[in-house]
Structure 1
Amino acid sequence: MPQPAPDDRAVRPVRLGLGANAAQFALLVAVNALVGGMVGQQQTVLPLLAEEEFGLVGYTFIFTYVTAFGVTKAAANYVAGTWSDRYGRKPVLVAGWLLAIPVPLLLIWAPSWGWVIAANVLLGLNQGLTWSTTVIMKIDLVGPRQRGLAMGLNEAAGYGAVAVTSLAAGYLAAEHGLRPAPFLLGLAYTALALGLSTLAVRETREHARAEAVEHTPRPDGRHDHLHGRLSSGEVFAQTSYREPALSSASQAGLVNNLNFGLSWGLFPLLFAGAGLRVDQIGLLFALYPGVWGVGQLVTGALSDRVGRKHLVTAGMLTQAGALVVVALGDSFAVWAVGTVLLGAGTAMVYPTLLAVVGDVAHPGWRGRAVGIYRVWRDLGYAVGAVLGGVVADLWSLRAAVWVAAAISLVSAVGVAVRMYETHHRQDLSVE
């Protein structure tokens, strides 16, 4: 009796590497650009909406939407990491996009500020589930050799889209009003991303399993105790405070997003207080994630060549200097320099920290480690919003920027003292 033809998908070997998985990698880059665009649709507009349409006063109250976003995104990151290890990456990605559907509608129809906060809770869940999953899936696909490049491409797409959409939303708001035009972008992004994630994206968990089989320990034995099966509690401890590189990455990530969260709620108000137009504010806010996004195309790959630690340290120092420029500035030109420098410093840090986590975490618990790192990193949104609001209410908007500059300096010193170099090119044999 003739035997049925084998299913090519069942016998096709799993291959690691950017070239071997170019089509799926490119698709995930496009999906992550749409993830970033969901944030960009509102960044320029919401602080102005709070004052002009809802009559809110007090910076701490206005920043509640950033706090809601940061806390829920942090929680969703943990869920994304845990579920992606347990159930697979793709179901988590699709679930994240389903949660995005009501977000632009709530922002368009909001009769009160509570609706805006509810929209940002859903947006935080969407961002945590989708962005974490695209990060994990790209790390799965490329293997250890090109981790920095993969993270640079991923984060460049996401934050480049934040910049482009922030700029587009600012111009739409200037031409057509604060609502509904800027948020129609979010409706289009959600529909496209949900279709791509459901119909075209493929599961990548088998790639992680293949890497685990061929995993090569470090010659110095530093990670030998991390190669076994770790419980979720053990992964949390290693990533949060016990393992020097992972915990250093977690604190630097938190401070990095503290700066982003503070700038999200504070910069538009600082710039508007100096008499800048809405379109100028949109351009300034686009420069920060724009340089951040494009810069990662260079810095991610650079970390594969020169290592991770010094790039992270230099990036945190650059962010501290950029915030000093913003705090001292009082014109469009000076603030443009500050936001460009802030974007450059963030570009040095953002993909490199994700590569650090990928270097240290074993493929068997990588999803959870990425999720926990992103919990700490994205709590920075909430910390930055609360800290910025309290300091601005007690003293001034500029004082809040000075505080963030000091915290960034302390973070850089912490990385320089505690983090070791995690990238060892000579150990990488999987392509």
Structure 2
Amino acid sequence: MTARTVPVATPSENETGETAPGTGWFHAALPLAASVLLVSMVAHFRVPLLADIGRELAMSASSLGLVATVFAIGRLALDLPVGRLADRIDPLKLLAFAAAAMGVSSLGLAFAPSAAWVLWSSLLLGMASATGNTTGMTALSGSAPPARRGSAMALYSGALLGGQALGPAVSGAVASLGTWRTAAFVATGLGLAVGVATAAWRRRTGHVPLRRNTKQGAGDDVAELTPLQRGALYGVCFSVFFTLGAMPQTLVPLLGAIDHGLRTATIGLAIGIGGSARMLGAAISGAVSDRVSRRAALLPALALQAAGVALLAVGGSAAVWLAAIILMSLGSSGNAVAATMLGDRTHGARLGRTLGRYRFWGDIGLVVGPALTAFVYDRAGVGPAVGLVSGVLIMCAVAAAVVVPETYGRGSRAVAGQEMT
């Protein structure tokens, strides 16, 4: 049997297939990155509100874990369909729809009279989130030349994580001035405004859509990843999302409120600091993956995230709690690096479907992580819950280290440099 191959593009090839310095995609990508940031911001308004929602609606820790779980189920339902749509439709059109849907879903949360209503609103928020996230990842990764793909994924991650930093911080501040329902109403207005603004930008005179780099160019061929290798990368996404759902979106806010007596605004600010650390981690990982190798960025990131999770078991002061958030956030950049590695070995015309499957496995982790970790925390406490999450991370990191080859290292750049001359 002969391995399927995909052609390698040179780093000088832009989204039209013409020779360029490798930056032709960047300016067209900025409006899309801004939309990703704002959609992500609205999606994460709910995170610091969990403790207040639980107190008002008499929801236990396990029930609050279900809020993140049904959010992930909503994402899971649309990852694959949106991946197919992202291969065909202008990304700004999909992002405008996602933002408007976020606004409507947030309105449902603001009026929630019961736990069931909160769960339905979270489900719809998750569906809108899948539309925005898969669209943004596909468009930004697919438009960049291979030598800039790590930077493109860093731009996507920076926008996504910037929203995850701003959303909880703004939401917590608004809730401290009013209630958690006030914050949900603000999310409603913001989502609708972003949807209208994105649609207007797309329709403006002179708008040039971000084009997919479907023509990969001439050059040496490289083998596509085997199913086992792709599975190991899907496992990375699963473990990172499992951790994000279980820790920053569920257990971290509860520990802040219960163990450290922190207010909603303070918890939101801490999660926002974590989001800023995720932006820094994404920028560093993007640079390392482009300039050194993909594996040199991936494996240390996963180890760092596992260390942050383990630090929560130490307990102690709120400073240790915050340090754990920062370490987990810095290490979460492994998700973007794994997606970059998939992009290295996937033809541009199939990229949306491939990344849709990648995010699908990640969202399975986002479904399982919060519910399972909250259940273990309710029954056995912090230590076993932290051990569960750390174990998942370590297992998937070892699998990636053993199975996944380097997809764009020094040898690839040397070949690209010869082609450019």
TM range (shorter): 0.7 to 0.9
CA distance in 2, matches of 1:27, 1:86: 19
Taking a change above 3 Å as real, the CA distance of residues 194 and 217 of structure 1, as seen in their structure-2 partners, is: farther
Q: Which runs of 5+ in 2 are unaligned?
A: 1-14
Match of 2:231 among 247, 252, 261: 247
Q: CA deviation at 1:61?
A: 1.9
Other structure's SS at 2:406 match: coil
CA distance in 1, matches of 2:420, 2:54: 54
> For the Cα contact (< 8 Å) 1:309–1:415, is it kept in 2?
no
1:38 aligns with 2:24: no
Q: CA deviation at 1:342?
A: 0.9
> For the Cα contact (< 8 Å) 1:31–1:197, is it kept in 2?
no
The equivalent residue for 1:167 is: 169
CA distance in 2, matches of 1:181, 1:127: 18
Q: CA deviation at 1:110?
A: 1.0
> For the Cα contact (< 8 Å) 2:103–2:190, is it kept in 1?
no
Q: CA deviation at 1:183?
A: 4.0
Q: Give CA-to-partner distance per residue, 1:134-169, whole Å, 9 cap, x none.
A: 111112322222000011011111112211221121
The equivalent residue for 1:315 is: 301
Taking a change above 3 Å as real, the CA distance of residues 17 and 255 of structure 1, as seen in their structure-2 partners, is: farther
> For the Cα contact (< 8 Å) 2:83–2:352, is it kept in 1?
yes
> For the Cα contact (< 8 Å) 1:149–1:301, is it kept in 2?
yes
1:361 aligns with 2:346: yes
Taking a change above 3 Å as real, the CA distance of residues 250 and 420 of structure 1, as seen in their structure-2 partners, is: same
Q: Identity of counterpart residues, as a percentage?
A: 24
Other structure's SS at 2:45 match: helix
- After superposition, the CA RMSD in angstroms is 2.3
The equivalent residue for 1:261 is: 245
Q: CA deviation at 1:198?
A: 5.2
Other structure's SS at 1:361 match: coil
Q: CA deviation at 1:53?
A: 1.0
Q: Give CA-to-partner distance per residue, 1:37-73, whole Å, 9 cap, x none.
A: 022211111x21332110112x222211211111221
Other structure's SS at 2:73 match: helix
The equivalent residue for 1:425 is: 413
Taking a change above 3 Å as real, the CA distance of residues 190 and 427 of structure 1, as seen in their structure-2 partners, is: farther
1:374 aligns with 2:374: no
Question: What's the TM-score once normalised by structure 1's chain length?
Answer: 0.85
CA distance in 2, matches of 1:248, 1:425: 24
For 2:164, the aligned partner's letter is V
CA distance in 1, matches of 2:152, 2:56: 42
Taking a change above 3 Å as real, the CA distance of residues 52 and 28 of structure 1, as seen in their structure-2 partners, is: same
The equivalent residue for 1:67 is: 69
Q: CA deviation at 1:91?
A: 4.4
Other structure's SS at 2:57 match: coil
Taking a change above 3 Å as real, the CA distance of residues 383 and 329 of structure 1, as seen in their structure-2 partners, is: same
The equivalent residue for 1:6 is: none
CA distance in 1, matches of 2:376, 2:96: 39
Q: Which moved more, 1:170-179 or 1:153-162?
A: 170-179
Q: Which runs of 5+ in 1 are unaligned?
A: 1-11, 227-237
Q: CA deviation at 1:430?
A: 8.0
> For the Cα contact (< 8 Å) 1:140–1:204, is it kept in 2?
no
Question: What's the TM-score once normalised by structure 2's chain length?
Answer: 0.87
Q: Give CA-to-partner distance per residue, 1:311-367, whole Å, 9 cap, x none.
A: 2221111111111111112311111111111111113x0321121111011112111
Other structure's SS at 1:93 match: helix
1:25 aligns with 2:29: yes
Match of 1:412 among 389, 394, 397: 397
Other structure's SS at 2:24 match: coil
CA distance in 2, matches of 1:422, 1:194: 40
Other structure's SS at 1:56 match: coil
> For the Cα contact (< 8 Å) 1:314–1:412, is it kept in 2?
no
